[in-house]
Amino acid sequence: MKRTQSIYQWKKRGVKSDDYHKLYEYHMSINNCQLCNVEFDDSFKNLRCLDHDHHTGLYRKTLCNSCNANYKKEKQKLKCSNKSGHMWICNYKCNRNNKYYFSWMYSRKIDGKLKVKYCKTKTQAIAYSFIMLLKEPY
């Protein structure tokens, strides 16, 4: 991928940088994955990926595609300023049979008991959250 295409994709995915060209040069100068040390090549498994913090948008590591897909990231709670406005919704990553699945999780304590619901889409999680707010307001 060319420099301008890479930088465009990074910006689209939320990567933040004061100097994208400097970040690109640094990222491209790394020859091995910073987790498993595999050498980067043109195979899909060993493609160079830029890992970043999804809250801040800041660069963390340069990883191979395999490590980037399997790298354990903490649950990233949605901020209250998001479009849904619900602080009880977060995205959820689970591993079943060595395959990773992403879903949305609603979790809230109601009368001292933790209520958890997994949803396939963010829209379903928001709808469930509204239903729970109607049933059990603050």
User: What average pLDDT score do residues 77-106 get?
Assistant: 60
**Pair 56, 18 in one domain:** yes
Specify the higher pLDDT residue, 104 or 51.
51
pLDDT of residue 92: 66
Q: Model's pTM, two decimal places?
A: 0.51
Specify the higher pLDDT residue, 38 or 135.
38
Tell me whether residue 84 is in a domain: no
Q: Which residues neighbour 66 within 8 Å (Cβ) at sequence distance 6 or greater?
A: 36, 38, 45, 46
pLDDT of residue 67: 85
Report how far apart, in Å, the C-alpha atoms of 55 and of each of 43, 45, 64 are. 30, 26, 21
Q: Give the chain's domain count.
A: 2
**Pair 9, 59 in one domain:** yes
Most confident of 53-62, 77-86, 91-100: 53-62
The upper half-sphere exposure of residue 60, i.e. CA atoms within 13 Å in the direction of its Cβ, equals 13
Task: Identify the CA nearest to 131 among candidates 112, 117, 111.
Answer: 117
Tell me whether residue 77 is in a domain: no
Is the pLDDT score of 8 beyond 80?
Answer: yes
The residue range of the domain holding 65 is 3-70
**Pair 7, 64 in one domain:** yes
Instruction: Give the Cα separation of 95 and 70 in Å (integer).
Output: 9
